[in-house]
Chain A
Amino acid sequence: MSSSVTRVPVVDYLALGDGDPHLVGHRCDACGATHLDRHNACPACGGRAFTSTPLPTTGRIESFTVLHRGAPKHIGPFVSVLVRLDDGTYVKANLVGVPPEASAVDTDEPVHLVTYPAGTDDDGTEAVAFGFAYASGDDRTRDDQHGNEGDDR
């Protein structure tokens, strides 16, 4: 990956610049509930003050599906997972580094956050997405994601 390429996170709760890539949550000052999106008040308690908090990069899969019908053409069938991070925050993402098969998913095995390039825009800016992988799937790259910019769902 060339350092001259401008990289942006695929969503604003993915932090790329500050050490290893990780997710950032809004933690409610009143009750401690942590939310990925911005909220006007806390959905758990109604509190209105939040503190930005880095989230753990490891967790476990609570549910999954292998999405076939309607999967974006440039992505193909994929494994959608709900991950419970080690601090109890939930995030939905793809499980990467495995074939898109139900038998490839083991909800007992921990997963960790990985990042990969998810597309390039007309200015050459690269979007960096995150997913989750098993320990054995570290070296997986998603170079097949390149060159499909503009291919909307």
Chain B
Amino acid sequence: MSDDVWIIGAAMTPIRRHLDRDVLDLAADAALGALDDASATIQDMGVLAVGTQFEPYTFGQQVQKQIGQTGIPVYNVHNACATGATAVRSVLMEIRAGETDMGLALGVEQMTAGSPPYRSTRPKDRNVFEPDGRDGHVLPTEGVLGTGQMYGVFAQTGTDYARRHDGVGFEQFARVAEKNHAHSTLNPLAQYQRPYSLEEIMQAEMLAYPNTLPMCCPTGDGAAAVVLVSDARLRTLDPDVRRRAVKISASVMTSDPYDPSGLAHPDVNTLTRLAADAAYEQAGVDPRDLDLVELHDCFATAELVHYDNLRLCEPGGAGEWIDRRGPWRDGEIPVNVSGGLISKGHPIGATGVANIYEVATHLRGEAGDRQIEGARVGLTHVIGLGSACAVHILERSAG
């Protein structure tokens, strides 16, 4: 089998000062042009890599909303003047690794003044209503067209679940925070290490119903790292290294596929379900096999819906599951024994590695006071809004 990778489509926009095209237009022009040139469609693509030095957040996912949301993994690449080449190489490596057989790499930058913004908003000397952004808003829309505040967005995700399923209310969401703050009392790395009573949580300052302050992750600093090797290389290493090695049995990344509600309100459920189901299949693991789970509890409302999305509870049964302490460290499937984002903390770039550190430490039997005894299989889950979801399943080395 050859490792060769080929280019079948290519396109670019004119380079000049674009006063009539925002940066999403430029990205879409190049992407759609390359697809046409390849006689391919977005549905043929198995991966998307988008390079930009200056656009923030999940920019590649914003591009998907202009060219097609098919749920494929998206790499947002940021590497100074090598940004575009790194995007190309990201797609090449995915193909070479056998993850997919066709992908789209895109690089874009908008660097001149006077180009139309696609998000927000020019500082103004004088308050004159002028349409701004892709929705043509004339004034800030926060508090006029609902909320975009994270704790409010995830609050709505929670009340949507409560509307669709019985036995879910303010108290069930608060119980998630009660659990995670109890768990972190055993974790010397956690930002908070004191228990909160259910009553204290429910009576705390309401940020956005039903999320009170201790139901929301704090702001904090931190870092985490891991070293990976190939199976062939592992066989050459010292027996003590091999004994402590943790196997990555599944690694899945998704973006949000199109959903009619998703452009008005981020849908964090569908891409999590797709990633989890693919990960269980890849690893040959059933949710009931899991000894522990570290999931993305940026807010208590998020953790509750992910019990269902990750198939940890009966369908629709997340409220009942927290009521009977299923996700507590002595329950059926311990969830966020580190304290989770709510109590361990959420230094954003570190979070998706820190949860792998946590699960690996339990699988190695090295988690000290918070050790889940005999842990053999664990799952990690993160979501970056926009959205990107990653699920990993880790297993203790057999030897």
Which residues of A approach B to under 8 Å, CB–CB? 8-13, 33, 35-46, 48, 62-72, 75, 78, 80-82, 84, 88-94, 102, 107, 118-119, 121-123, 125, 127, 129-130, 149-150, 152-153
Nearest A residue to B258 by beta-carbon distance?
A: A44
Quick check: which of B107-115, B127-135, B283-291 contacts chain A, the rest being far away? B127-135
Give the CA-CA distance A68 to B143 in the complex, in Å: 10
Determine the chain B residues whose CB is within 8 A of the CB of A125 once the complex forms. Answer: 128-129
Contact between chains at A123 and B68 (CB < 8 Å): no
B contact patch SS: loop
B205: min CB distance to chain A, Å: 7
Nearest A residue to B142 by beta-carbon distance?
A: A153
With A11-B141, A69-B207 given, name 16 new contacts (CB 8 A).
A11-B135, A33-B260, A43-B64, A43-B65, A62-B163, A68-B209, A72-B143, A80-B146, A80-B152, A84-B261, A90-B265, A118-B144, A121-B129, A123-B129, A127-B138, A129-B145
Selected contact of A43 from candidates B25, B68, B149, B261, CB within 8 Å: B68
Nearest A residue to B159 by beta-carbon distance?
A: A63
Contact between chains at A65 and B163 (CB < 8 Å): no
Contact between chains at B261 and A37 (CB < 8 Å): no
Determine the chain A residues whose CB is within 8 A of the CB of B149 once the complex forms. Answer: 67, 69-70
Contact between chains at A67 and B143 (CB < 8 Å): yes
Give the CA-CA distance A130 to B135 in the complex, in Å: 14
Contact between chains at B146 and A94 (CB < 8 Å): yes
> Quick check: is B66 within 8 A (CB to CB) of the other chain?
yes
Determine the chain A residues whose CB is within 8 A of the CB of B208 once the complex forms. Answer: 65-69, 80
Determine the chain A residues whose CB is within 8 A of the CB of B142 once the complex forms. Answer: 72, 153
Selected contact of B28 from candidates A41, A63, A82, CB within 8 Å: A41
Give the CA-CA distance A72 to B149 in the complex, in Å: 11
A99: min CB distance to chain B, Å: 12
Which residues of B approach A to under 8 Å, CB–CB? 24-25, 28-29, 32, 41-43, 64-69, 126-129, 131, 134-147, 149, 151-152, 155-157, 159-160, 163, 170, 205-211, 258, 260-261, 263-265
A114: min CB distance to chain B, Å: 13
Selected contact of B261 from candidates A39, A78, A90, CB within 8 Å: A90
Determine the chain A residues whose CB is within 8 A of the CB of B141 once the complex forms. Answer: 10-11
Contact between chains at A41 and B146 (CB < 8 Å): no
Give the CA-CA distance A119 to B126 in the complex, in Å: 14
Contact between chains at B143 and A88 (CB < 8 Å): no
